Structure 1
């Protein structure tokens, strides 16, 4: 009885080679597509969100509704910002207590150049400041009344931080012997006519 001859596979022909090339191309293509699909969300995540863009945008404030002596709080870049309409009496009080202040001339860089003055403002009647204590980030309260019983006879009116007792006058200048080391921060702002203020736009703008 004869031994059967071993079966030797035939070399791959052109149809087989073509099939393998097609499979390889498909695998590479799918891998590349997967990388692209993975990269798209990653790249998108690097772009600022609509909320972030909105928070960074300038904020317009209509001044017509803020009566003399009144304070309005608006949000800008996720921070509370005060817009105070100071009365003539409030402005007159600013020159009477410089000896009690830590930085009465605003030497520290806590305001734009155009607000580095006694009033810390472009237009004296309007004071704009970030409503965050420069000590540990609490929000001070508006205390415009002079010499109240709880703040003492030297209190000229201003902003008091209930967290640790820091005090600021009506121009946001910090008093001596309190925890806060700096005056309140004045953000960039500009006027667009006498009745419209824009927070986040740098420069005095047009006042009339």
Structure 2
């Protein structure tokens, strides 16, 4: 069957460790969408993660990840593999020219310290791949488009005709996050050790004073008697 005419356009909203990847799908011939479902595939590099709980609270789509996500690890501690985030968009009925906006909250991991100024790390994020999955007559399973096959499990959408939606935005987007500098590590280590030492001295002093007050109280009470 022919694909409903549509285009997708994506952009990053805000910069830093917490940002939104926003995609707008413009459907030009909504009547052709029929019973087709609308999907997005985000390929997230190891520097970026999606919070499954946060995604579950978002209206407008159902989300699934191809692997568990640890929300606390820095980039140096995660496996060197991309994470695949798949969305099924719960689009309203298409009547006339229609646009669907899909906002995906994402987070950047703390990066490795930089050896040079100015202490920033640039992350390259590909535009999501948008596609239709439309019912097809019974028969041999249809092959997935080459641009989607590496990111979807074998047999996915076997009973559907899968058709890519052209992406009007650039193929890659850049996200800049601040990182520590190797030149500052010695200062940070000394400062951390100094703070820990001061806290230890403070706690020890408070403990000694409290112990002295506790031991002095019975003697004072006995003199009053």
TM surpasses 0.5: no
TM-score normalized with structure 1 length: 0.23
Q: Larger radius of gyration, structure 1 or 2?
A: 1
Task: Say which structure, 1 or 2, has more relative contact order (CA 8 Å, 6+ apart).
Answer: 2
TM-score (norm. length: structure 2): 0.22
Larger strand proportion, structure 1 or 2? 2
